[in-house]
Structure 1
Amino acid sequence: MKTSSTRRRLGLRVTALTSVAVAAIALTGCSGAASSGPTTITFSYLWGGEEAKALEKVIADFNKSQSEIKVVGVSSPDAQKQLTSMSSSNGSFDISDNFGNTVGSWASKGILAPLDEYLKADKVDLGDFAPASMEQMKFDGKTYALPIAVHTQQLMYNKDLLAAAGVEPPTTMDELATAIQKLTVTDASGAITQIGLGNPSTSTLLTTLGYAFGGTWDGKDGKTPSPTDAKNIEALDWYTSTLTDKFGADKIASFTSGLGQYMSAQDPFYTGKEAMVIDGEWQAVNIPKVAPNLNWGVIDIPAASEELAGTTQVSTSTLFIPSNSKHKAEAAKFLAYIVGDKPMTDFTLALGNLPSKTSLLTDSAYSSIPNFDSWLKVLAGENAKALASQPYSAEYATDLGTAFDDVVRGVATPEAAMKSVADKAKSYDAG
């Protein structure tokens, strides 16, 4: 009797548990239907401050525009943390940003998701992006990122200093060299008190000059380091003969060591210590805020020959989807949205950057920014150049930077410095 009774109780218990299980399954199904709201994706971005506020506005607009996807923005300026997450089996975000020169290296390591199928499905017109900006977005024939904003370089000049020296804005390399001589001022001891051409970034300045002389830094195929290209050497020789040899590397170094912080009220271009600089479009937004009384202008970078007119260097701010994202399709839909006309315009205006789409280059939204059109117009030109984004690019940039510093400091000739980079490039990882 005890055994039979026990079995009956167990039978009743199993029946009860089965009923609970069935009910639970039914409730789960109902719960799934009831909570089948938007898929949440995480957008971890490197921007902060005012830039982050502008990006959060774009995110909010996207979330309001549809009900299938909810984007949660996270400001995380730690690039190493970003890379660590992308390299793990379980990533912490679905979409993020960086610069175009990282695309080739990251794509070759398999940590970026190829985007072509998603972009086709979401009807993103890749042909509308400035060609130079897209050069950094591809690796092995596939698209791995899109540019949300781009940057070009132009020659900025202090109108008052040029007028006082009787100098017209230069349009050729010879005119630029002459202007630099006239605009570089020394005191009785020979110390420089004003320099004709400033140097906000040595690597950007000298690679841009290489392009302006018709050189290439990544070979004719765009995939091979070519630091010893004859036109690159010509550009560096021009720089050394115009500045380093003429005024002395030690005196230039002494002068620059006492200059104020870049883009602050003490920026040497703002305070008249530098008569001219080759710099990016962000200055057009910063100058009215920080140095509103500065009388300045901007012109195309002088080129070594007529066919090189309008030469500039392009760099990019990119958006990408990591391979370990669990919501690639949803992240791609948001990516397609943010590179749409209005979001891109709103975001680039907030940052003081250029839109990457050629259809927006003449948009009236940018017309209120002083001199901004100068940077805009060269972006779509055939002489807009971008450094390659290949597996070797980061290492190459480091080696070029070291070699350029040696040239500027007068401790190595352009020929010797670039040969040292070419020798190192033989051991680069080809991916």
Structure 2
Amino acid sequence: MTISRRALLAAGAGAGLLTACGANTGRDDGGSGPRLSHWYHQYGEPGTERAVQRYAAAFKKARVSVQWRPGNYDQQTAAALLTDSGPDVFEVNGPTLDQIQQGQVVELTDLLAGVRDDFNPAVLGPMTYEGKVYGIPQVVDMQLLYYRKSLLRDAGVEPPATLDALIDAAARLTDGETKGLFLGNDGGAGVLGGTPLRAAGFDLVTADGAAGFDDPAAARTLGKLRRLYAGKSLLLGAPADWSDPSAFVQGLTAMQWCGLWALPRVREELGDDFGVLPFPADGARGRPAVPVGAYGAAVSARSGHREPAKEYVKWLWVERTDFQTDFALSYGFHIPARLSLAAKAGRLRTGPAADAVRFAADHGYAQPLLWTPAARTAYQDALSRIIKDGADPARELRAVVAKVTAELKRVRRVKKPS
């Protein structure tokens, strides 16, 4: 299986598994100035590799060599950042907190002078530490809820705006042939992540660096997901999992949690007979929630050409808005990271695509930088036990809060090298 940009949105999965492919040197002639190496992970969308080679060839102040990296990209880059033979510029699902605190990546704040507010804050936030930017977002991917208009209309069901309404709609839309809702073959335990907590009005980590869900209302929200799983309205055991819209377009489910990448196929199969929604709000302090993610461009602190590398990153991901729009929409279906580009992109201006852009801007959230792998694993394990095993949500969340609190204390003690 080839993994595309959607993989970074799988809860707790980071950039996901990458299949092997041959490295490509892009070009190493033409231009002038120093040689720069630019690493990318392998994309599943056809044409992406040639596109980034074309971008690199257009930069005339350095000779940029594009490398399409095989194998486990995250492990490769983590190891390469410790050596002098790694990339000058690299694509990253981050950078991670460890990479920033250990001084492995170069601060890029100055590259966004005058345009910082034009970048979607939900994806720029996780690339920012103590007010300083360490990665430039490239595109935005997002998850959202697809619903079949005709099936809802025939059942007299309104598009659900609350979690309780979603549970009720799923039950009313279930019949002998069609289930009401598909959240993945595990009932949403793997993909939903912190989205239900966000929809209930809670953050994974608060602005002052504390666990943001130490509240009985958070446990009640997760308990509702168990109700869905234990009932008869969730599709389980579909031929393809949540990231593939097959179950939705084939009529196996009236609603499906999926990603923006699926929208062109859904539109091709169903025409105008579908709409999209954010994850619905829950409780008195609830709000719609849309998980978003973005790969970013970063500069290695071990690069021998830091300033030219920074200039190249600024040129490609800040100044060349034509390349940014091309990268987002010509190879797969994604949202440009800059709000102004997303607003005027022709393919994103009408119908469900325009709704998705609005949801990403108004309700988008990403896993915070301080949400460490240990914290994420503790929460994901608890969420799985709650949904699939019926474990007590309050007890499970208390244990997660304790783990997250310990993690936050640990990372605050780590200081970035001067």
TM-score normalised by the shorter chain: which range applies?
0.7 to 0.9
**What are the ranges of 5 or more consecutive residues in structure 2 without an aligned counterpart?**
1-29
Cα distance in structure 1, aligned partners of 2:242 and 2:166? 23
Deviations 1:103-156 (A, max 9, x none): 323212322221124x16xx5621211122221011133211111011233321
SS at match of 1:314: strand
Partner of 1:72: 65
Deviation at 1:98, TM superposition (A): 2.3
Deviation at 1:73, TM superposition (A): 0.9
Say yes or no: does 1:372 pair with 2:353.
Answer: yes
Contact 1:228–1:415 under 8 Å retained in 2: no
Deviation at 1:413, TM superposition (A): 1.7
Cα distance in structure 2, aligned partners of 1:359 and 1:301? 25
Partner of 1:405: 384
| Equivalent residue in structure 2 for 1:143, among 133, 152, 158 | 133
Contact 1:195–1:274 under 8 Å retained in 2: yes
Cα distance in structure 2, aligned partners of 1:47 and 1:321? 19
Partner of 2:23: none
Q: How does 1:266-345 map to 2 (within 5 A)?
A: 267-288=246-267, 291=269, 295-304=273-282, 309-339=287-317, 340=319, 341-345=321-325
Contact 1:227–1:421 under 8 Å retained in 2: no
Give TM-score scaled by structure 1 length. Answer: 0.77
SS at match of 2:395: helix
Say yes or no: does 1:212 pair with 2:199.
Answer: yes
Deviation at 1:347, TM superposition (A): 0.3
Deviation at 1:232, TM superposition (A): 2.5
Partner of 2:183: 199
Partner of 1:37: 32
**What are the ranges of 5 or more consecutive residues in structure 1 without an aligned counterpart?**
1-34, 188-192
SS at match of 1:196: coil
Partner of 1:358: 339
Deviation at 1:246, TM superposition (A): 3.6
Cα distance in structure 1, aligned partners of 2:338 and 2:314? 13
Deviation at 1:171, TM superposition (A): 2.3
SS at match of 2:389: coil
| Equivalent residue in structure 2 for 1:131, among 121, 126, 132 | 121
Partner of 2:76: 81
Deviation at 1:36, TM superposition (A): 9.9
User: Residue type of the partner of 1:345?
Assistant: T
User: Residue type of the partner of 1:99?
Assistant: N
Larger Rg: 1
Bigger mean CA offset, 167-176 vs 397-406: 167-176
List structure 1 runs of 4+ shifted beyond 6 angstroms: none
Cα distance in structure 1, aligned partners of 2:242 and 2:202? 28
Q: How does 1:48-127 map to 2 (within 5 A)?
A: 48-50=43-45, 53-64=47-58, 66-77=59-70, 78-79=72-73, 80-86=75-81, 88-100=82-94, 102-117=95-110, 119=111, 123=113, 125-127=115-117
Say yes or no: does 1:228 pair with 2:228.
Answer: no
Cα distance in structure 2, aligned partners of 1:278 and 1:91? 42
User: Residue type of the partner of 1:374?
Assistant: D
Report % sequence identity.
Answer: 21
Cα distance in structure 1, aligned partners of 2:350 and 2:51? 21
Contact 2:198–2:287 under 8 Å retained in 1: no
CA separation of 1:264/1:127 partners in 2, compared to 1, >3 Å: closer, same or farther? closer
User: Residue type of the partner of 1:57?
Assistant: A
Contact 1:116–1:142 under 8 Å retained in 2: yes
Give TM-score scaled by structure 2 length. Answer: 0.79
SS at match of 2:145: strand
Cα distance in structure 2, aligned partners of 1:129 and 1:48? 23
Deviation at 1:238, TM superposition (A): 2.5
Question: May I ask how many residue pairs the two structures share in their alignment?
Answer: 373
CA separation of 1:264/1:219 partners in 2, compared to 1, >3 Å: closer, same or farther? closer
CA separation of 1:375/1:347 partners in 2, compared to 1, >3 Å: closer, same or farther? same
Contact 1:129–1:358 under 8 Å retained in 2: yes
Bigger mean CA offset, 333-342 vs 299-308: 299-308
CA separation of 1:55/1:332 partners in 2, compared to 1, >3 Å: closer, same or farther? farther
Instruction: Answer 1 or 2: which has greater helix percent.
Output: 1
Deviations 1:260-295 (A, max 9, x none): 345557x32232222212332112134356x46794
Contact 1:212–1:311 under 8 Å retained in 2: yes
Contact 1:215–1:231 under 8 Å retained in 2: no
Cα distance in structure 1, aligned partners of 2:348 and 2:303? 39
User: Residue type of the partner of 1:112?
Assistant: V
Contact 2:242–2:256 under 8 Å retained in 1: no
User: Residue type of the partner of 2:248?
Assistant: F
User: Residue type of the partner of 2:223?
Assistant: D
Cα distance in structure 1, aligned partners of 2:241 and 2:168? 28
Q: Please, what is the CA RMSD of the aligned residues?
A: 2.9
SS at match of 1:257: coil
